[in-house]
Each structure stands twice: as C-alpha cells, then as structure tokens.
C-alpha cells in the first residue's frame, strides 16, 4: 500500500532528476562551443594547470564556487516570486539554472580527474550515474505510453478525436492506478 502511494512521488523525483541530467547533457556541448569561441579556452587550460597543483580537497572547493556565486541569483528569483513578479522570477530562475549548469559542467570537466581521486566522491559520482539509469528505467515506460497515445491520436482522423483522447487518458490513468 505504501509503495503504491509513494510511486507518484518517485516518478516525479525521477522526472526532475532526468530533466537535470538532460540540461547537463545539452548545456555541456553549448558551453564547450562558447569556450571554443571566446578566450575561455585559455582560461580552461590555465585553470586546469592550477588545479593540477591542488589537492583533491581544495579542488572540491573550486567545484563548489559556482554554487556559492549563483546562490544570490536564486534568492533574487525567490524574492521576485514573493512579490508576484512571476515572469521575471521565472526568467531569473531559468537563467540561473542554465548558467549554473553550464558553469558547473565547465568546472566539472576541468576538475573531474582530481575529484574522482577522492573515494567518497567517486562513490557519489557512480551512485548518481546509477540513479540516473534507474530514473530512466522508471520513466521510460511512461514516456513510451505517452508516445503511443499521442501517436494513436495523430493517426486517427479528426472526427471524434477528443473522445478518443479522453478514452486514452482514462485508460492510461487506470493502468497507472492498477500498478
């Protein structure tokens, strides 16, 4: 019974985790292009040379810096939400998220070798990769079911499509509740 009640929570958590992973995967190449286009490549080499001289623990501090620097931006987003500035708050939060993921991807690329020398960090890194695989396994059947429903709707002609969509949604809902 408890497992059935918690399943929507775990699915939501898996979706959020996969969105974060998707952002990471898609922003990392963009950041790499930006680094290639502007003089950040020399910054990356300079930073990599400096990190080679640091211990893994000090390298962790370098990795944490973007989180600390972007925290005030998140506070601004929350302040805007509290003052009902929805659009500006959403823009600020999304901007902060994109910049944060991009900078973190850049810094992680430079610091990965040193960070993985710490046993607990290597374990955490592998655990996150395992969680990502499990989250994908949890969400993949739902994504496939949604694709099937959308495909069925698009394949049918337009007459009576709304009732078919409603039946598909109800059928999907019953199948999720039956688990």
Report the chain (179 residues): mean pLDDT per 10 consecutive residues: 72 76 74 68 80 88 86 91 91 84 80 91 90 83 81 64 71 73
Q: Over the stretch 54-72, which tens digit does the pLDDT of each residue have?
A: 898 888 888 888 888 888 9
How many other C-beta atoms lie within 10 A of the C-beta of residue 100? 19
Domain edges within the chain: 2-178
Rounded CA Rg of the chain: 22
DSSP state, 1? -
- pTM for the whole structure: 0.60
Q: Report how far residue 104's alpha carbon sits from residue 49's, in angstroms, rounded to the nearest whole number.
A: 18
* Average model confidence (pLDDT) across the chain: 80
Residue 156 is predicted with a pLDDT of 64
Query: Cα(169)–Cα(52) distance, rounded to whole angstroms?
Result: 55
Kindly state the percentage of the chain with pLDDT values over 90: 14
């Amino acid at each position: 019974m408890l497992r059935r009640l918690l399943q929507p929570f775990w699915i939501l958590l898996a979706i959020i985790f996969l969105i974060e992973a998707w952002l990471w995967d898609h922003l990392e190449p963009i950041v790499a292009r930006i680094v290639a286009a502007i003089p950040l490549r020399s910054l990356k080499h300079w930073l990599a040379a400096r990190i080679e001289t640091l211990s893994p623990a000090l390298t962790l501090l370098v990795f944490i810096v973007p989180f600390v620097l972007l925290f005030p931006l998140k506070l601004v987003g929350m302040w805007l939400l509290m003052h009902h500035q929805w659009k500006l708050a959403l823009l600020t939060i999304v901007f902060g998220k994109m910049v944060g993921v991009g900078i973190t991807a850049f810094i992680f690329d430079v610091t990965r070798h040193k960070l993985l020398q710490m046993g607990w960090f290597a374990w955490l890194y592998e655990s996150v990769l395992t969680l990502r695989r499990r989250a994908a396994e949890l969400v993949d059947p739902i994504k496939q079911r949604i694709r099937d429903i959308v495909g069925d709707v698009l394949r049918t002609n337009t007459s009576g499509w709304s009732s078919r969509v409603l039946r598909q949604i109800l059928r999907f809902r019953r199948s999720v509740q039956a688990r």
